Amino acid sequence: MAYTAEIIGVGTELLLGNTVNTDAQDVSLLLSELGVNVYFHTVVGDNPTRLKQAVEIAKSRSDIIITTGGLGPTFDDLTKQALAESFGKKLVFNEAVAQQIKDFFSKRLPAVKMTENNLQQAQLPEGCVIFDNGVGTAPGCAFEAEGKHVLMLPGPPRECRAMLKACVEPYLRKLSDAEIHSHNIHIFGLGESAVEQKLRNLMENLHNPTLAPYAKDGDVTLRMTAKAASKDEAEKLMTPVMSQVCETLGDIIYGIDTISLENTTVGLLLERGITLAAAESCTGGLFSKRLTDVPGSSRAFAGGIVAYSKNAKISLLDVPPELIAEKNAVSREVALAMADGARIKLGADIGIGITGIAGPGSDSSGLEPGTVFVALTTKDSSYCRSPLLFHDRERIRIVGSSHAFDMTRRLLTGLSVD
């Protein structure tokens, strides 16, 4: 049987935007792995009447109802009461759970006096399966009634994630007769619409697996998903489609199931024992920041210099002042000189130079925002790109630094760089 699920996030703070509903994302990711179809996400405030209304709607269209939040000790934590009433169940005080709550305070929070309202968390629907909370006081629970499976999880993300892994996954795995498995194909160098155009015929004729593009700043991810009785069967469904996608898109694919473009690039640098140094202007150190976010990057990154002004380019990177005067600080020639300056000064194998106009206004030369030059040099070669970027300051910085990673990736894999 293919189950459908609805996730109901409970909490006024979610509606007000004070808290991001990451629980829904975490629950959805798990359900997709288990082959449970998630058709609806609902958010409702701390109001028992509206929560019951949401549950009644969920009953009419879902086999599994999962709530997050509203299991704590305060007066507005009413999820258990509302769902028990919706399904005609009584709340029963569980002595074992009450003792666990007391032990939690005495052993983990000895300096904190437990207030009596914490024992409200030991009130649970009759006959339910109790989900132990390994990192907090509010237990979760599950029961089956009226042909529906109802699961209640705590709202704090750390507690919710732990309970999903320890309790919810084994509970739901017994229900599902299929598994969903996915691969993420990461692309740089082509926009979402262009990727979709190349693969439209393929995507329109796919049913299992499916293929869908998702755009980020400068990147596109193709998510391939297959549903089958086992992981091996899902992989057999995806393998021929994966081959067709890779053949169609070629070297603009920078990784499959990788974390990011910078992770791919750092991995190549480490694998080949090659070092890199960077000189940045308009990106303001973002390239260096992204690179050093990757664990182990210290073995490949010699250092970075943020030379924002003309004087900094001259004094820190030995860019000739006459070159800036003749060509302008935002130019191919200066980007190449910056890359060389960083490479030579920091003793690296590869130098990166990025200069441009992030906006919102143009500089004294009259060049438009989005004018960016990204250079890469070695002792034997030099390359420079001048991508036309959108007039958005943050996007210009992100995509500009991404071009530097892509150029490095292509150099290290023997592909055309510029």
**Amino acid at the residue 346:** L
What gap in Å lies between CA 178 and CA 235, rounded to an integer? 13
What gap in Å lies between CA 266 and CA 295, rounded to an integer? 9
Structural tokens at position 21? 């509903």
**Amino acid at the residue 413:** T
Alpha carbons within 13 A on the beta-carbon side of 206: 22
> 């032990």: which residue's tokens?
103
Averaged over successive runs of 10 residues, the pLDDT of the chain (418 residues) comes to 89 93 94 86 95 96 96 85 94 92 86 85 94 91 96 96 95 82 92 91 91 85 90 95 96 95 97 98 96 97 96 96 94 97 97 91 75 96 88 87 97 93
Query: In 3D, which of 376, 406, 382, 188 has the Cα closest to residue 277?
Result: 376
pTM of the model: 0.75
Query: In 3D, which of 400, 417, 413, 408 has the Cα closest to residue 276?
Result: 408
What gap in Å lies between CA 337 and CA 103, rounded to an integer? 65
pLDDT at 37: 86
**SS3 of residue 265 by DSSP:** helix
pLDDT at 117: 85
Strand partners, 215: 220
Query: In 3D, which of 223, 214, 219 has the Cα closest to residue 184?
Result: 223
